[in-house]
Structure 1
Amino acid sequence: MMLVRPLLLAGLVGALVWAVAQNLALGTARKQLDQTLLLTERAVEAEVERLRSLPAVAAEDVRVRNALSGSGPLQEANRYLERIAVHAQAEQLYLLDARGETIAASNWNQPSGFIGENYAFRPYFKDAMAQGQGRFYGIGVTTGQPGYFLATRVDAAGARGVLAVKMNLGALQAIWRTADADVALADENGVVILSARPDWEYRALTPLSPDVLAELEVTRAYEGTELATAPPLLAAAPDERNVTGEGWIGRISTMPSTGWQVIAARSTAGLRMVALGAAALAALATLAMVAMVKAWDQRRQIIALRLSQSEKLETMVRARTADLAREVEARTQVEIDLRATQEALVHTEKMAALGRMSAAIVHEISQPLAAMEATLSAAELGVDKTDAATTRRLGKARGLIRRMQRTTKHLRSFARKDVAERSLIDLRGPVASALELVSPRARDIGVTPLFQPPEEKVEVMAGAVRMEQVVANLLLNALDAVAERPDAQITVTLTTGNGQARLCVADTGNGIAETDLPDVTEPFFSTKMTGESLGLGLAICKAILSDFDGTLDITSDLGQGTRVTVTVPLALAKEAQAA
């Protein structure tokens, strides 16, 4: 039952789409057939009109009139009609006397010539004698070739006759068959006289009445054909301009000039295939949609079942919430202890690596360096003021000694583990102090760091001196990065948001390679090529910030600059009040 309903729905939709698609295809096909009808009518009319006036024009010639009245030689009329037929591209041109006997013809010198033949039984002769003009389509009784006959009455010196022209329309039929144009031409009685389909020739569109059959037999219009026994082409009488046959549909129209009927047909097999294809696609799409809806409904039921189970589980979860809360508290305390232990282990590991070396360097070098600097200062005082070279050498030696003192100072700062004392500070103060500290270095390079402090306080729980050390280290690194850049610029920004204070130091220096970024905060790692750096600055900054629950983030584009972001939690209201 569950499978039958979707199949019924798909069948109903497919039938509906088939009907709509078939109607659309039929409408499109009829429009195309109308265009074919119009082109075919114009082609037939053009061919007929080409020779319509030829009998009347040729009848005005004196040789034709003399031949009809018996006052002139018939041979001259024969040659004249022969030349006119050749120039006008008419199949035959011939002259009949009042009894319907041919007395002159364009084919006078051919075995199947018309001279001596009597055509009084032909309708075109009777109509021309009675009304002055006559026309008729039929198979020639002499040649056995079909053609369209146009006739004009001729009156000459008391004699009366008819001048007729026979047109061969087979060229049109050949063109239709070559172009695969499914068209046909029927006479005023509904008999197909020309057709792109050979099996349609000399078949009636609808059953012919006995009177019409008798008249066609008298006029011998289609002598030698099976017109009387051949079945009609149309399954039903034409509905306005629509006609239908076995396996085809068509459009029909009547030519006013000749009374003939033009039929443009098209096979219905292709149209049925298009409609069936559209119906099949629609049925498949319907089945797919039904499957999607069914899948969605099953998914909804599964979700509802899971929600029901979740409610049951929630009751069990509440029962254990109290136990879990106590377990969480215990684990939290364990994590705090473990973090403290890990920090101590990390520091111990660093000190194990630097222990003996740092202590020996600081102890053994600090005092000799201080003594050497004092000695050089005394020597500098005793040197003759005019001896500039010696004074310069002593100053250079003192500079090297101060460099070694800075190295021992960095080692002592990195190896010492201070207690992170916190107090409520305004970050604007340490930033301003750090800018003032690095101003001599900035002036030497020719760069002025840009800093626009915020109007409101940026209060955090940290140490003012250690935060000043962090900012100064970042500024000195930025100054070193832009020292040799022509477009040097350093920007310092201090903002707040999401409970955090953010300090950004951005420069337009050479930047840091992407492969070096993960290692820049490691101890003794440096990208400076001068050898003046121990690679401890960023490591010390990261250690200081970790004591204040802060972070250090570095982004850089090689050749464009570096951006260092320091993030420290803002002081809470209760912390500010306690401070």
Structure 2
Amino acid sequence: MRMHRRDGRLTLLMLAAAGIASLAAWYVAHGAAISALQAGLEQNLIVTKRAIESEVERFRYLPRVLGEDARIRQLIARPGDGDAVEAANAYLRTVAGQSGAAQLYVLNDAGLTLAASNHDEPGSFVGNSYSFRPYYRDAMAGGEGRYYAIGVTTGRPGYFLSSRLLTRDGIIGVVVAKVDLEPLETAWQAAGAQTAIADRNGVVFLSGNPDWKYRPLSPLTAQAQARIAEERTYEGIELASARPLLEGGSAAAPAGAGGTEFAPGAGGSGLLARFRPVDPDGWLILSATDTAAARDRAGFWALVAGLSGLLAAGGVHYLGQRRVLTQLRLRQTDMLERMVGERTRELARENEIRRRTEADLRAAQEGLIHSEKMAALGRMSAAIVHEVAQPLAALETTLATADALARQIDAGPVGERLKAARALIRRMQRTVKHLKSFGRRDAAELTLVDIDEAVRNALEVVSARARSVGVTPHFAPEGSPPFVPAVAVKLEQVLINLIVNALDAVEGAAQGAVTVERESAGARLTVRVSDNGPGISRELMPRISEPFFTTKISGGGLGLGLSISNAIMAEFGGDIVFSSAPGGGTVATVSMPVAPPQRVAAE
């Protein structure tokens, strides 16, 4: 009887322990699952923020670069000139098509649109005033502006980047680029991501969940509603009646990336949310995920713990009827089994958390590598066009001359011309072969290059251009040529670009001259390409190497040649310095290290 009472008390204790173990298992499993979800959300916020910043960064300098073009400045100076307006409209449309910007347009100092890339389309910006927009006011006051809003003319949302035009007479206008960020939203929706971006007023304007779009995170204040109405940020959207997104969670939207919020999900299920700010616009990125899986996992482990406790209690009650020795052995076995089971479950949870974390990190790393390669591919595209255009032009001229000579039955010169054409084709093949290495991790290997041979190859490529200008570049080196560590095709690309620029400068001059000089002093080699053209003004000299900056109003260049040349010389440990010639003109000085004599002798 005493043994039965003792067994009964023990059974009750086991049942109580099973209940406690079930609750403890639920809390531990739920906490681990929530921690894993938070880590995943935080990683997603980092990747999303970098994607947004990368997308905006592609267009950040576009308004400023457009403002330096002569066609835009002529438009501002003569807004009533039909030719100036037509040239500006055509230029804006071309740049918009090549850059990927949604729209480009120019405002005068009163906020009135003078020219736009959609000038001949329905919903054209031309003639409309946008002086009420913050991006116009900020640009006029501080030089630059940025603002996201729904277009009052087209009804399509976009991110507006603006830059002020300045002359010696003061402010003259604002150039604006409208960028479409909806591809980010489309990608989120396709991936089923619960990701959104809210503006500084707390209104969601991009979201992977369509139900969240144009809803405030928390009830809007009267001041925020008045500001949105004044700036016409969300034209046609009734925000006052929109249901706040976080009404089922915190009372107010978080101020930064600190707190975790719970928002109502579909079917009443909870959403675990994390936030991260995006400067300088005061945006807030929201990334959320359903917590149903975490609750299910916690319930599973609580059920396992409860059933284990019940089975253990039943086993103890059954074995309590047996002998003390058997009871002790069974109790020891049961204790060992429970310890092994708990340890196994802990190891399983740890392995699962580690596996998910490693998978998230690999996915984030691969996404970042892909983004960097795509950005580099965009920069290489302009270099490809610039490099291939010059050999093609020379090839066309050479073949045309060969055709004319063939008609005169002059076999000797025809053979020489065709030989030159084949050399040009081989050069193009070397360039294409070099471009094939873009996708590989390793960079092109530096070899010893004869600098005089590189100069002569460059002069041969530009010979057709020199004849059309009527100037023969002078190159008379003295002494044995030094060798430099470089990539031959890239070094020739730099020399071709500098010589062509010099020929362009003296085109039309009565006594035009282009000179190429080579000298070495110690461990450095210097190659100077000089011309007696009109030269470059002191104001423009610091900017000639900037990307997309050009003084060729006729559209003969994109302003990328010198930028690419500087990048190439940096790879070789050299640089390019521009200065004014004493008698007028420009001198481009290429400086780079000379290969040591030991290495030249070894190779």
TM score, norm. by length of structure 2: 0.48
**Equivalent residue pairs, number:** 304
State how far apart, in whole Å, the 1-side matches of 2:180 and 2:19 are.
55
Alignment root-mean-square deviation, CA:
2.0
The 3 A distance-change label for structure 1 pair 303 and 115 is: closer
Are the aligned partners of 2:14 and 2:312 in contact in 1 as well (CA < 8 Å)? no
Match of 2:124 among 113, 124, 132: 113
Deviation at 1:206, TM superposition (A): 2.0
State how far apart, in whole Å, the 2-side matches of 1:288 and 1:210 are.
62
Deviation at 1:10, TM superposition (A): 2.7
Are the aligned partners of 1:176 and 1:196 in contact in 2 as well (CA < 8 Å)? yes
Match of 2:323 in 1: 300
Match of 1:287 among 307, 310, 319: 310
State how far apart, in whole Å, the 2-side matches of 1:253 and 1:194 are.
15
The 5 A counterparts of 1:55-66 are 55-66=63-74
Residue 41 (structure 2) pairs with residue 33 (structure 1): yes
Residue 61 (structure 2) pairs with residue 43 (structure 1): no
Are the aligned partners of 2:140 and 2:174 in contact in 1 as well (CA < 8 Å)? yes
Deviation at 1:129, TM superposition (A): 0.7
Runs of 4+ in structure 1 deviating by more than 6 angstroms, as ranges, are 1-4, 301-304
Output one character per residue of 1:388-434: Cα deviation in whole Å (capped at 9) or x when no partner.
xxxxxxxxxxxxxxxxxxxxxxxxxxxxxxxxxxxxxxxxxxxxxxx
Match of 1:83 in 2: 94
Match of 1:194 in 2: 206
The 5 A counterparts of 1:49-448 are 49-70=57-78, 73-156=84-167, 158=169, 160-234=172-246, 235-236=249-250, 237=252, 238=254, 240-246=258-264, 247-300=270-323
State how far apart, in whole Å, the 2-side matches of 1:303 and 1:199 are.
64
State how far apart, in whole Å, the 2-side matches of 1:171 and 1:17 are.
43
Q: Secondary structure at the match of 2:93?
A: helix
Q: Which runs of 5+ in 1 are unaligned?
A: 305-579
Match of 2:23 among 15, 18, 26: 15
* 1:155 partner letter: L
Deviation at 1:258, TM superposition (A): 3.3
* 1:149 partner letter: F
State how far apart, in whole Å, the 2-side matches of 1:127 and 1:219 are.
13
Are the aligned partners of 1:250 and 1:263 in contact in 2 as well (CA < 8 Å)? yes
Deviation at 1:7, TM superposition (A): 4.6
Deviation at 1:5, TM superposition (A): 5.8
State how far apart, in whole Å, the 2-side matches of 1:206 and 1:256 are.
21
State how far apart, in whole Å, the 2-side matches of 1:214 and 1:8 are.
60
Are the aligned partners of 1:68 and 1:156 in contact in 2 as well (CA < 8 Å)? no
State how far apart, in whole Å, the 2-side matches of 1:253 and 1:123 are.
24
State how far apart, in whole Å, the 2-side matches of 1:192 and 1:293 are.
59
Are the aligned partners of 2:15 and 2:313 in contact in 1 as well (CA < 8 Å)? no
Q: Secondary structure at the match of 2:126?
A: coil
Deviation at 1:270, TM superposition (A): 1.1
Output one character per residue of 1:97-151: Cα deviation in whole Å (capped at 9) or x when no partner.
1111111000001011100111111111111111111111010101111100011
The 3 A distance-change label for structure 1 pair 300 and 156 is: same
Q: Percentage identity across aligned positions?
A: 41
Deviation at 1:34, TM superposition (A): 1.1
State how far apart, in whole Å, the 2-side matches of 1:254 and 1:101 are.
34
Deviation at 1:81, TM superposition (A): 0.7
Match of 1:464 in 2: none
State how far apart, in whole Å, the 2-side matches of 1:102 and 1:14 are.
69
Deviation at 1:257, TM superposition (A): 4.0
Q: Secondary structure at the match of 1:51?
A: coil
* 1:180 partner letter: G
Q: Which runs of 5+ in 2 are unaligned?
A: 1-7, 265-269, 328-603
Deviation at 1:178, TM superposition (A): 1.0
State how far apart, in whole Å, the 1-side matches of 2:16 and 2:244 are.
41
Deviation at 1:157, TM superposition (A): 6.4
State how far apart, in whole Å, the 1-side matches of 2:185 and 2:63 are.
24
TM score, norm. by length of structure 1: 0.50
* 1:213 partner letter: Q
State how far apart, in whole Å, the 1-side matches of 2:287 and 2:210 are.
15
Q: Secondary structure at the match of 2:47?
A: helix
Are the aligned partners of 1:18 and 1:279 in contact in 2 as well (CA < 8 Å)? yes
State how far apart, in whole Å, the 1-side matches of 2:14 and 2:239 are.
54
State how far apart, in whole Å, the 2-side matches of 1:286 and 1:88 are.
67
* 1:274 partner letter: R
* 2:40 partner letter: Q
Q: Secondary structure at the match of 1:298?
A: coil
State how far apart, in whole Å, the 1-side matches of 2:326 and 2:209 are.
67
Q: Secondary structure at the match of 2:153?
A: coil
State how far apart, in whole Å, the 2-side matches of 1:119 and 1:303 are.
91
Q: Secondary structure at the match of 1:45?
A: helix
Output one character per residue of 1:180-221: Cα deviation in whole Å (capped at 9) or x when no partner.
222111112221111110001011112221101110011110
Q: Greater relative contact order: 1 or 2 (C-alpha under 8 angstroms, separation 6 or more)? A: 2
Output one character per residue of 1:453-475: Cα deviation in whole Å (capped at 9) or x when no partner.
xxxxxxxxxxxxxxxxxxxxxxx
Are the aligned partners of 1:65 and 1:156 in contact in 2 as well (CA < 8 Å)? no
Deviation at 1:90, TM superposition (A): 0.3
State how far apart, in whole Å, the 1-side matches of 2:193 and 2:48 are.
10
Deviation at 1:271, TM superposition (A): 1.0
Are the aligned partners of 2:188 and 2:208 in contact in 1 as well (CA < 8 Å)? yes
Deviation at 1:28, TM superposition (A): 0.6
* 1:11 partner letter: G
Match of 2:410 in 1: none
* 1:113 partner letter: S
Are the aligned partners of 1:148 and 1:169 in contact in 2 as well (CA < 8 Å)? yes
Are the aligned partners of 1:66 and 1:156 in contact in 2 as well (CA < 8 Å)? no
Deviation at 1:156, TM superposition (A): 4.2
User: Which of the pair has more CA radius of gyration?
Assistant: 1
* 2:311 partner letter: A
Are the aligned partners of 2:197 and 2:207 in contact in 1 as well (CA < 8 Å)? yes
Q: Secondary structure at the match of 2:323?
A: helix
Q: Secondary structure at the match of 2:285?
A: strand
